[in-house]
Structure 1
Amino acid sequence: MIINDFHLPGSVCFSNFRPDWSTQLEYIDYLCLRIKLMVDKDEYRKRIILTASKIFSHYGFRKTTMDEISRALKKGKSSIYYYFGSKEEIFEAVVLYEANQLRARLTKAIKEVDSPPDKLRNYIYVRMREFAKLSNYYNAVFDKNLDHFEFIEKIRSRYDREELAILRLLVYVGNNRGIFAVEDSEYTAMSIQTMLKGMEVPLFWRKREMDINDRLEAILSLIFNGIMKK
């Protein structure tokens, strides 16, 4: 909803509306209208992001056009340009939205259990499963054709830093409790992250449920038990 298109009774344009401050009731009504417009604006912006996400996932960034997004929304392009200046800005918003979704799911997975091994197990399972489902975020991280976008590199760097910090904390807590036996939490976390990154692409070449489960269990077994006979 565009603010300038909203009119109060009596054909008073909202953008030029000045309430009569003589009564608190009128002031409250005025604030309620402002809040409603802000909510409507946020909801429509989110609707653009969710709709564009599906189109980007289907056609890819390069083949997606603003015309396709506007047709899917059943709105004119001008209503989209009110919120986003270009297709690139929409894609950035989509990628950031998916990144936040992944972050929320990982946080939830870690909080669901208590022990460091279970937290690490949950993190790896959710991370490897959910990452590929968020196709636009996945493409932003891996598609070299998107390297020229400055925000892509920022997202990649932030993702790596956040993941390393989580893994380092999980390893440190487990080591501090005497559950893990590692000499350096930093290098152990970096090694786990490297292992996970190496599995990302081949793991999802064939998305068979059993294949994914078996591979994830093999990763976890290697992390927790190693390959040396005890």
Structure 2
Amino acid sequence: MVSGDILDDLKNDILDKAKERFDRFGYKKTTMDEISRDCRISKKTVYEQFKDKEDLFTCLIIREKRKARDIIFASIREINDPLDKLLQMMRTAIGYFNEDNFLTRLLKDDEILFSNFLSTKSHSLIRDELIAMIADIIVEGKKQGKIRDVDEQFVAYAGLKLFEAFSYMRTIELDRNKAAQGYYTEALVDFIVHALIKK
């Protein structure tokens, strides 16, 4: 009998190789045969781990999303004040999603690499979790009397849209020097503070 750790290692090895191939050639041009060759295992072994290519891609998105979430959570773990927690979460998330990584390229709707359907699916997987995280922090802040009474789901959605506009969905060119110094991130943080803080 094979232990769970070995199966997890195998699954992660397959996801690592698939990520390299998807990132280089895109979803449509990547085949399960190529992934199995890259992994130096049989295609049957790949199919024992993943139902099909879409399942493999979805698992990859979920894994990459968890990595991003873990980075964000690590930055706020020791913070007790909900407003400070929300602001640090935004700073960390903007920094992460401004980097050139697989998840960011996927979220930028790169049609050459990823189809619209898969991009939409990945957006919803990531968006829903971020909205829930933001809403939970807002609820915590309302309970402590630090955040005014707002509809946390709506504000979380609006906050996420603002976050997207400052990171991977930015549609205007920003001053590079200001961006490098964190000027725009701090401007967004200041805006959010004044919108949420209970006076």
TM-score band by shorter chain is 0.7 to 0.9
Counterpart for residue 161 of structure 1: 128
Q: Which runs of 5+ in 1 are unaligned?
A: 1-33
C-alpha deviations, 1:93-129, integer Å up to 9, x for none? 2111112222222332232211112211221122223
Counterpart for residue 65 of structure 2: 99
Report whether the alignment pairs 1:191 with 2:158.
yes
Q: Structure 2 residue aligned with 1:80, among 46, 49, 63? A: 46
C-alpha deviations, 1:26-76, integer Å up to 9, x for none? xxxxxxxx254x433332121101121122223322233334433432334
CA distance, structure 1, for counterparts of residue 177 and residue 27 of structure 2 = 28
Once the two structures are TM-superposed, the CA of residue 205 in structure 1 deviates from its matched residue by 7.3
Report whether the alignment pairs 1:172 with 2:139.
yes
Is the Cα–Cα contact under 8 Å of residues 168 and 185 in structure 1 kept in the other structure? yes
Q: Which runs of 5+ in 2 are unaligned?
A: none
183 and 99 in structure 1: CA distance in 2 versus 1, 3 angstrom threshold: closer
Greater relative contact order (Cα < 8 A, sep 6+) = 2
SS at match of 1:202: coil
| TM-score, length of structure 2 as denominator length | 0.73
Once the two structures are TM-superposed, the CA of residue 223 in structure 1 deviates from its matched residue by 1.3
CA distance, structure 1, for counterparts of residue 59 and residue 137 of structure 2 = 30
CA distance, structure 1, for counterparts of residue 177 and residue 2 of structure 2 = 46
Counterpart for residue 190 of structure 2: 221
C-alpha deviations, 1:104-155, integer Å up to 9, x for none? 2233223221111221122112222334555247516735662335xx6554
CA distance, structure 1, for counterparts of residue 60 and residue 88 of structure 2 = 26
Q: Which moved more, 1:79-88 or 1:191-200?
A: 79-88
Q: Structure 1 residue aligned with 2:89, among 113, 123, 146? A: 123
Is the Cα–Cα contact under 8 Å of residues 66 and 77 in structure 1 kept in the other structure? yes
One-letter code aligned to 2:179? D
Q: Which moved more, 1:137-146 or 1:189-198?
A: 137-146
Is the Cα–Cα contact under 8 Å of residues 106 and 127 in structure 1 kept in the other structure? yes
Report whether the alignment pairs 1:148 with 2:117.
yes
CA distance, structure 1, for counterparts of residue 26 and residue 150 of structure 2 = 44
Once the two structures are TM-superposed, the CA of residue 210 in structure 1 deviates from its matched residue by 5.9
One-letter code aligned to 1:57? D
How many residues are aligned here?
A: 189
One-letter code aligned to 2:166? M
Report whether the alignment pairs 1:56 with 2:22.
yes
CA distance, structure 1, for counterparts of residue 51 and residue 128 of structure 2 = 29
Is the Cα–Cα contact under 8 Å of residues 99 and 137 in structure 1 kept in the other structure? no
CA distance, structure 2, for counterparts of residue 184 and residue 39 of structure 1 = 42
- Overall identity of the aligned pairs, in %: 22
Equivalences for 1:29-48 in 2 at 5 Å?
34-36=1-3, 38-48=4-14
C-alpha deviations, 1:141-174, integer Å up to 9, x for none? 735662335xx65543343333222222222332
Is the Cα–Cα contact under 8 Å of residues 98 and 137 in structure 1 kept in the other structure? no
133 and 113 in structure 1: CA distance in 2 versus 1, 3 angstrom threshold: farther
| TM-score, length of structure 1 as denominator length | 0.65
190 and 41 in structure 1: CA distance in 2 versus 1, 3 angstrom threshold: closer
